[in-house]
Every structure is written in C-alpha cells, then in structure tokens.
Amino acid sequence: MNAKSQATEETQECLAYRAMMTAPMDPLAMQQLKTKCLESRK
C-alpha cells in the first residue's frame, strides 16, 4: 500500500464514478465505473 490514503487519491476514473453516483444509472455500468476507479488506484 502506498503512503497516500485511498480517500484522497482521486484519479479521473474515481472522479467520474463519484460524479455519477447520484445519477440514475444502470447498476452494471456503475459497477464498471467503480472497478475502473479501484484499478486506477493500484
């Protein structure tokens, strides 16, 4: 694990995911955004 905490590590994918969290969206599409977010943090 790197020194940065995950909460502060905002990648573009995570920003996109967070922006879409409040939007009415297909659960599968939401899951894909979340996965991309997590993958981008590695």
Question: Does residue 1 lie in a domain region?
Answer: no
Question: Does residue 2 lie in a domain region?
Answer: no
HSE (side-chain half, CA atoms, 13 Å) at 32: 5
pLDDT at 4: 54
Tens digits of per-residue pLDDT, 6-21?
555 689 999 999 998 8
Name the pLDDT band for 23 (thresholds 50, 70, 90).
confident
pLDDT at 6: 52
pLDDT at 1: 43
Range of the domain at 26: 9-42
Question: Does residue 40 lie in a domain region?
Answer: yes
Flag whether pLDDT at 2 surpasses 90. no
Question: Does residue 19 lie in a domain region?
Answer: yes
Question: Does residue 39 lie in a domain region?
Answer: yes
Please state the domain count of the chain. Answer: 1
Query: Who wins on pLDDT, 28 or 21?
Result: 28
Question: Does residue 23 lie in a domain region?
Answer: yes
Q: Inter-axis angle of helices 27-40 and 12-20, to 10 degrees?
A: 150
DSSP calls for 1-42: --SS-TTT---HHHHHHHHHTTS---HHHHHHHHHHHHHHT-
